[in-house]
Chain A
Amino acid sequence: MNFSRKPMKKILLSLSLLLLTLMFTTNTLAASGGLEQDAGPYHVIMQTSPGNLLVNQSATFNIIVKNKATGQPVTGAKVVMSPSTMNSSNSNSNSNSNSNSNSNSNSNSNSNSNSNMNTSGSNNSNMAGMDMSSSMGTQGATAMQEQSTMGSMAMDPGTYMMEGMSFNQPGQWNQTITITSPLGASTVNFPITVGKSGPNYILIGSVAGAVVIAGILAAFLKKKKN
């Protein structure tokens, strides 16, 4: 039998490169991951799925509540999500990428956390854009469900989930969360970037550009060849 002979070094090198790429990319993702804020006695983390929120796309929000002093998860709390509000000044000028959203959140979280809590309602103009699949309260707020009590599976304690959220306009939104537990009541405000759901013309243009460049190169090579 004939066997193609390739040094094992090549194989190992290729695999190592692949693994490094995967690890590097996941690390990058981790670095630009969920939004975090301190609010009163709590350390609150918000994660969305999918990470890049798009207009009219159903999303799941996970809120992880921890005791700021001890780092322990806070279970049995009442976590209420108010209707998202839209920042009108940003509504027409936001980028589509979630990484921007994350970087905004970090800068905002340090400066805004408590001061924005009470003023978010007056600062924001549009409250009609969010739909929730869960039942709403009389004020339009919705209690999030603690994940550990969902189904029969044991989940990470202190995680509260809201499914089926969607936003009807692209731009910068604010999401107010109120947490009540024996530790006390606190409100936290997260900025959310919702991207346009239309075509990504930058991507399409880049791909078309690459093909055109290859076409020019091909024409040049063809001419040279002939």
Chain B
Amino acid sequence: MSSNKQPINFLNYPWLKRFLKSSLYPRIFQWLTVLVFGVIMVETLAGPTNVGDNFGSAATWVLWWPLIPFFFFLLGRFWCGICPFAWVSDLTQKLFGANLKVPSFIRKNGLWIIDITFIFITWADHIWGIVESPRGTGTLLLLILAGVMVSALLFERRTWCRYLCFLGSLSGNYSRAGMLELRADKDTCKTCKTRDCYKGNDKTAGCPMFEFPMAMDNNANCNLCGNCIKSCPHDSIRLTPRKPTSEFWSMSRAHFEESFLAIVIVGIVFVQNITMLDFYPSFLKWVELTLGIANQDIAFTILFIFAMTTPVLLLFAATAFSKRLTGETLRTAFARFGYAVIPLDLASHMAHNLFHLLAEGKASYYTFMGLFGVHLEGSTSFIADPTIQIMQYFLVIAGTLGSLYTAYRIAKKNDGVSKALSIAMPYLVVILLFGILNFLTFTVRMSMRM
């Protein structure tokens, strides 16, 4: 292969470029999502209280949530660009926004706020049954909507999406393992005096995510809104496909918070899997009896904390072994190698939700028809459980291999080929352990959400 071969640039397709530059993008998708979101809000706040009859719950938890990791993998944070909350944020800001600078506390600690919110919401779901309760789902969406509107009223651009959205950090991490990237041609950008992509111009707003495409070296904060494509006077923007996980191989900046969330998600996905298995109630009861706790919420909280902290501690242990060869600090090495588990996170998340999508997906259609008074009953599954299970196995194995390879490539990039394997070895062992545990959880049938 020729070393100077140009990567494919999707913007070289005139029809696509015209579409992305037009005012239709991303508006046409946003209108659609806003419309569906409106129905979901009404349904979850005022519709049927039985989760099986509620279109809002079905659309959110057996359609949108299972599809979202696939979106991140294939299209980066494209979802964030068409998210109805982003539309609400832009509209609120345009009409009433004070456009203040984002406080440094939020800028510095945004990722931690997101990490903590994400953990809290996951925990709260199990305690209060957010997914199983349409009102719970409605309350969650309403609170997010309030957060979006308040931040849009006070601060500039999409402060919520960049610094506070609990899904934002997850999508940032997942899209970094994905197959699509938007970057600017640095040579072209060096000659640019206007920097319209960041500042905006008369026709198009600047980057809503506070990114300067020339300096962008990862997907974490690009939501593919298309503003830079529209505003760049030099056609510097490239939209290119890439090998999954390749972003981590040449990563130059590592953030402890991002790595921390990545490793915590291992525990979260594991908890999500375990709690949906048939033996979970008896397992929780066993925990209650063993620990002498008479309350299942407390027993779950202990399990939850255990599941969150164990992967973190295991990765710290791997780092402690590995850093003896590199001489790095524990924190630095942890931050760098924590990203290696993202492919496994993503694959496990996909595998878990694949069951809900394929075994319960028809519930979305049934409940949608229910909005028009048409009562439909029948199997909610698209394909048989064993087929889904095989697909889950495939995803988990692919994710594990992706994570193993990523850990190796991170070591190779920083410490050279000769040391790479020995430095990466402790991480490989831990990742393999996570992969096996995840695989085992998919050998047991999951219970349904609806």
Contact = CB atoms under 8 A, between A and B. Distances in A.
Given A57-B49, A214-B149, A21 B301 contact: no
B282 A154 contact: yes
Contacts of A197: 48-49, 135
B414 interface: yes
Contact of A1 (B49, B96, B297, B336): B336
A6 B329 CA distance: 13
A26 B254 contact: no
Contacts of A210: 146, 150
A56 B52 CA distance: 12
Contacts of A125: none
Interface stretch (A81-89, A175-183, A198-206): A198-206
A36 to B, nearest CB: 11
B23 interface: no
A4 interface: yes
Interface residues on A, range: 35 or more
B448 interface: no
A90 to B, nearest CB: 20
A222 B50 CA distance: 44
A30 interface: yes
A211 B294 CA distance: 40
Contacts of A21: 120
Interface stretch (B126-134, B267-275, B346-354, B423-431): B126-134
Given A1-B336, A153-B282, A221 B142 contact: no
A2 interface: yes
B11 interface: no
A184 to B, nearest CB: 25
B300 to A, nearest CB: 8
B301 A3 contact: no
Contacts of B143: 207
A127 interface: no
Contacts of B298: 26-27, 30
A23 interface: yes
B82 interface: no
**From DSSP, what is the main secondary structure of chain B's interface residues?**
helix
B57 to A, nearest CB: 12
Given A26-B297, A30-B297, A155-B285, A211 B98 contact: no
A208 B48 CA distance: 23
Contacts, number: 131
Interface in A137-187: 153-156
Nearest to A223: B98
Interface string A1-30: 111101010110010011101110111011
Nearest to A21: B120
**Residue of B108, B295, B304 with most chain A CB atoms under a 10 A cut-off:** B295
Contact of A203 (B49, B139, B260): B139
A56 B49 contact: yes
A95 interface: no
A1 B50 contact: no
Nearest to B251: A1
Contacts of B295: 26, 29-30, 33
B288 A156 contact: yes
A25 to B, nearest CB: 7
Contact of B48 (A26, A56, A200): A56
A217 B129 contact: no
Interface of A: 1-4, 6, 8, 10-11, 14, 17-19, 21-23, 25-27, 29-30, 33, 49-51, 54-58, 153-156, 197-200, 203-204, 207, 210-211, 214-215, 217-219, 221-222, 225
Given A156-B289, A200-B45, A214-B154, 10 more contacts: A3-B255, A11-B256, A22-B123, A27-B298, A29-B297, A56-B48, A56-B50, A153-B282, A218-B96, A222-B97
27 contacts: A1-B332, A4-B256, A4-B257, A6-B256, A18-B120, A22-B301, A23-B301, A25-B127, A26-B127, A26-B297, A26-B301, A33-B295, A50-B129, A50-B133, A55-B49, A56-B50, A155-B281, A204-B45, A207-B142, A211-B150, A218-B96, A218-B97, A218-B98, A221-B98, A221-B100, A225-B99, A225-B100
Interface of B: 45-46, 48-50, 96-100, 108-109, 112, 116, 119-120, 123, 127-129, 132-133, 135, 139, 142-143, 145-146, 149-150, 153-154, 252-257, 260, 279, 281-282, 285, 288-289, 294-295, 297-298, 301, 304-305, 331-332, 335-336, 414
